[in-house]
Amino acid sequence: MSAVSVSRPRFETLEKGAEIGRREISVTRSDLVTYAGASGDFNPIHWNNDFAVSVELPGVIAHGMFTMGAAVQLVVDWAGDPAAVIDYQTRFTKPVPVADTTGTDAPGAVVEIVGTVGALDAEARTARIDLAVTCAGQRVLTKAQAVVKLP
């Protein structure tokens, strides 16, 4: 069995402001329950609509770390190696409300992610990738930035 060669971006080919990619992530309440099981975060704001509304949320919301992880996956896929992402930070600005679409094919929310090269460090051979992360036209993460070490 031969190894599959993955084409990784090269530092010399990058330009500040260039888009590295974009994607939409469909989120369902089932995704949130699965994530709760994996993360151990069973806060009822992520699965119980009545509870979420009682604490003045718009309804069930996605876990912040779920949203953060979904966003950085764009960078990981672009880099071709998860270990190439040497730093990742963000600020949570708005919740991602996830409607109950049980029994339909519709997502409860759609998170849109666009990645662009925000800065280049030639000495360190790193690129800072800035992520614009929105849901229903609202920015849900601010200052979402990943630093990638490139060959």
pLDDT (0 to 100) of residue 25: 97
The per-residue b/e assignment along 18-54, b for 16 or more CB within 10 angstroms, e otherwise, is eebeeeebebbbebbeebbeeeeeeeebbeebeebee
Tell me how far apart the alpha carbons of residues 94 and 88 are, in angstroms, rounded to a whole number: 19
Write out the chain's pLDDT in tens, 151 residues.
444 445 789 999 999 999 999 999 999 999 999 999 999 999 999 999 999 999 999 999 999 999 999 999 999 999 999 999 999 999 999 999 999 998 898 999 999 999 999 999 999 999 999 999 999 999 999 999 999 999 8
pLDDT (0 to 100) of residue 7: 74
Closest CA to 42 of 66, 25, 63, 56: 63
pLDDT (0 to 100) of residue 6: 57
Q: What's the CATH superfamily of 11-27+63-149? A: Hotdog Thioesterase (3.10.129.10)
Domain ranges of the chain: 11-27+63-149
Tell me how far apart the alpha carbons of residues 72 and 133 are, in angstroms, rounded to a whole number: 10
- Please report the DSSP string for 110-142 in residue order: EEEEEEEEEEEETTTTEEEEEEEEEETTEEEEE
